[in-house]
Structure 1
């Protein structure tokens, strides 16, 4: 407040306001002075609703009649041109207007916006019609949804755009009320402040004159200077870095025709959309302006450089072979490299998830027999949401012809390959000596190869379920029932020789069967009779490792077939997963 106004107010007021006035230094003053007041009136209905909040306050201070009298006296002394009011009870607005007009002899008018449909209070801006001419106004809000209640719209601000009487200038006044806690019980101020700033920047931009209309922002913000919301509202040039890159390319034509150069504190994308948009009610003028911009751009330096660049390109052949009748602007390798890099970054941005997977694999190991192999079935569920979680993004980008379906599939699967090679190595290095499996480097390497293969078969099957499902919940529902038959015919719970002939084919689709057989061959194939210690009381003791394999209906000659079977399953599941994803993408065309 200017010192002269403060002194005038203090000298005239006849009651103790108990206020601490702070002088604000400004670089310059306009010839036209406007006085603004802002109040949170605390609607009487809010006092009743939240009576427990005001338990230590005397009733006379909460009484609306007493508060209105003091407010009227203060307005009479300050004689403001603009008042921003929050928690203004709807039914009391006519009473306030009559009081203010009678005591100040001003031609007050107002705009009002109810905060919530379920509440009786709102936000108001009162202005003197002799000094300000209302051009338009806009409410600021967001939709909220409380549990077991219908959706409502929380209006946290009201903006009014005014012409200053007697001058060609305009002014924007905004009254805002930012609650510390939203109706959902969370602090929503950071999001609301970002929304408030964005709306103010857009509403205040004058496209015809390429300038920003001054803004007066008043209200109850529930934060102090130095906080992050305060810095968000007061820090300029949010989009300056982006503007420096985009403005030189597009501003040539717009600046020559309409003088519209993107400001440093405005989003360039929004700016050019607004400049090149057809405004309702002004279609003819808008189309004429757009035509002038296009014509001016056609003879600009940027257009000539683009023509020279295109002249050096061979446009008779597309950059990439068409897929489904469509041509892509980028080559196959460019698409693959971009998707692979993005997928790799998405893996790196969650290092905690990688650590959890390593710890989970280690903690779930058993110390009996060959049971640690069963842990690897969890790889199915580790990848079952890889494609379903990004399905909306993939469908949108695929329809936009940003990349092909095969480049996306390969990029996603290859980016996760290092993780599914590292975890089996850690798993085998810990489990092998803990269980006491067959010593020897070759035995360990055979075990590591089989475990790595079966882990990647599991991930491939997870990819198949993910690509064939429309959502993550559906994939999680389908995955467990489908994996049970493969587990049943893997040789853990049912001897392969006991499987009926008409179900024998299922065992050849089970990666658990190949892994189980391969690991048992690796463990027992070269175990001789003298290496097994049998007691006289143990009549069922096998005489050699060959007997153990024969008992389980396995043969040492089938080890190579186990490797081949696992490799074929990896390839088959991934091809089927790609075809499922391709089919889903084509259905959405």
Structure 2
């Protein structure tokens, strides 16, 4: 992650505070989301292997599925935080994003939540799919669909009404909006001047993209945490169902 952060930061090095720089920042945020949410599929084989071990050990009464689910959720928190720090530090300061230290903390928190959300999605689908090939295909299709409806390619207002629900359940929407708010909500940041007066500010960029302001920052955090909890809970239910079925088969045999 450190190498990826350095390489990405060197590509988008020291972006300017103008309209072109704003467009490049939006593209950077879209790429960060795609990279972080897609790269976690590498952990799918590990979770599939853990599932087989879990089903075997729970059938012998070694521990409960709930114990595994809680432990699995907690053990990745510090690990993903370290990855988030290694990625966020070089990217943030090499690119020259919002110079406020609190903005950096919010950026780091978003990266951490993005990684944990992706991890939770993989955990959920690893409990559902039969093997790696199917799981990788399903996760890729789901992530691609979520990215399509994130608001980056087409705004919410341009989406047909019968597809608008995909925009609100997209895993990309809320962190993408959070990254934009974190970068452009500062009313003091001017992106274009005319005759010495500011004609385009960061707030104007947010309005053009159809997003809220700084007040919606914490709402995005809460929704991302809710996504994490939902995917974790669904994975627990699926694993419990699988383990129960295996236990019943073991008794019958």
Fold match (TM-score > 0.5)? yes
Measure, in 2, the Cα distance between the counterparts of 1:567 and 1:411: 17
TM-score after normalising by structure 1 = 0.37
1:460: how far off? Answer: 0.6
Measure, in 2, the Cα distance between the counterparts of 1:551 and 1:363: 30
Measure, in 2, the Cα distance between the counterparts of 1:389 and 1:373: 27
Task: Name the residue aligned to 1:569.
Answer: 227
Deviations 1:237-281 (A, max 9, x none): xxxxxxxxxxxxxxxxxxxxxxxxxxxxxxxxxxxxxxxxxxxxx
Match of 1:584 among 242, 248, 252: 242
- On the 8 A contact 2:4/2:87 being kept in 1, the answer is no
Task: Name the residue aligned to 2:217.
Answer: 559
Task: Name the residue aligned to 1:49.
Answer: none
Measure, in 2, the Cα distance between the counterparts of 1:426 and 1:457: 18
Number of aligned residue pairs: give it: 228
Tell me whether 1:431 sits opposite 2:128 in the alignment: no
1:532: how far off? Answer: 2.5
Task: Name the residue aligned to 2:68.
Answer: 408
Measure, in 2, the Cα distance between the counterparts of 1:358 and 1:406: 34
Tell me whether 1:457 sits opposite 2:117 in the alignment: yes
Please provide the CA RMSD for this pair.
Answer: 2.2
Give the secondary structure class of the aligned counterpart of 1:439. coil
Task: Name the residue aligned to 2:150.
Answer: 490
1:178-197 → structure 2 map (5 Å cutoff) = none
- On the 8 A contact 1:379/1:462 being kept in 2, the answer is no
1:446: how far off? Answer: 1.2
1:135-214 → structure 2 map (5 Å cutoff) = none
1:413: how far off? Answer: 3.2
- On the 8 A contact 2:38/2:140 being kept in 1, the answer is no
Give the secondary structure class of the aligned counterpart of 1:511. coil
- On the 8 A contact 1:460/1:573 being kept in 2, the answer is yes
Measure, in 2, the Cα distance between the counterparts of 1:358 and 1:430: 7
TM-score after normalising by structure 2 = 0.81
Task: Name the residue aligned to 1:303.
Answer: none
Measure, in 2, the Cα distance between the counterparts of 1:363 and 1:498: 34
With over 3 angstroms needed to count, the CA separation of the structure-2 counterparts of 1:390 and 1:532, relative to structure 1, is closer
With over 3 angstroms needed to count, the CA separation of the structure-2 counterparts of 1:362 and 1:477, relative to structure 1, is farther
Q: Return 5+ residue gaps in structure 1 as ranges.
A: 1-356
1:399: how far off? Answer: 1.1
Give the secondary structure class of the aligned counterpart of 1:402. coil
Measure, in 1, the Cα distance between the counterparts of 2:164 and 2:135: 27
Task: Name the residue aligned to 1:375.
Answer: 35
1:405: how far off? Answer: 0.9
1:454: how far off? Answer: 1.5
Task: Name the residue aligned to 1:548.
Answer: 205
Measure, in 1, the Cα distance between the counterparts of 2:191 and 2:110: 25
Tell me whether 1:532 sits opposite 2:191 in the alignment: yes
With over 3 angstroms needed to count, the CA separation of the structure-2 counterparts of 1:585 and 1:490, relative to structure 1, is same
1:414: how far off? Answer: 2.4
Q: Return 5+ residue gaps in structure 2 as ranges.
A: 13-23, 248-253
With over 3 angstroms needed to count, the CA separation of the structure-2 counterparts of 1:502 and 1:467, relative to structure 1, is same
With over 3 angstroms needed to count, the CA separation of the structure-2 counterparts of 1:361 and 1:533, relative to structure 1, is closer
Tell me whether 1:470 sits opposite 2:130 in the alignment: yes
- On the 8 A contact 2:69/2:232 being kept in 1, the answer is no
- On the 8 A contact 1:491/1:513 being kept in 2, the answer is yes
- On the 8 A contact 1:421/1:452 being kept in 2, the answer is yes
- On the 8 A contact 1:542/1:548 being kept in 2, the answer is no
- On the 8 A contact 1:380/1:459 being kept in 2, the answer is yes
1:358: how far off? Answer: 4.7
1:362: how far off? Answer: 5.0
Give the secondary structure class of the aligned counterpart of 2:147. helix
Deviations 1:519-540 (A, max 9, x none): 11111112347x333469xxxx
1:542: how far off? Answer: 5.7
Task: Name the residue aligned to 1:352.
Answer: none
With over 3 angstroms needed to count, the CA separation of the structure-2 counterparts of 1:489 and 1:564, relative to structure 1, is same
* More strand, by proportion: 1
Bigger radius of gyration among the two: 1
- On the 8 A contact 1:389/1:471 being kept in 2, the answer is no
- On the 8 A contact 1:486/1:510 being kept in 2, the answer is yes
Measure, in 2, the Cα distance between the counterparts of 1:427 and 1:505: 32
Give the secondary structure class of the aligned counterpart of 1:546. helix
With over 3 angstroms needed to count, the CA separation of the structure-2 counterparts of 1:398 and 1:360, relative to structure 1, is farther
1:263-342 → structure 2 map (5 Å cutoff) = none
With over 3 angstroms needed to count, the CA separation of the structure-2 counterparts of 1:572 and 1:526, relative to structure 1, is same
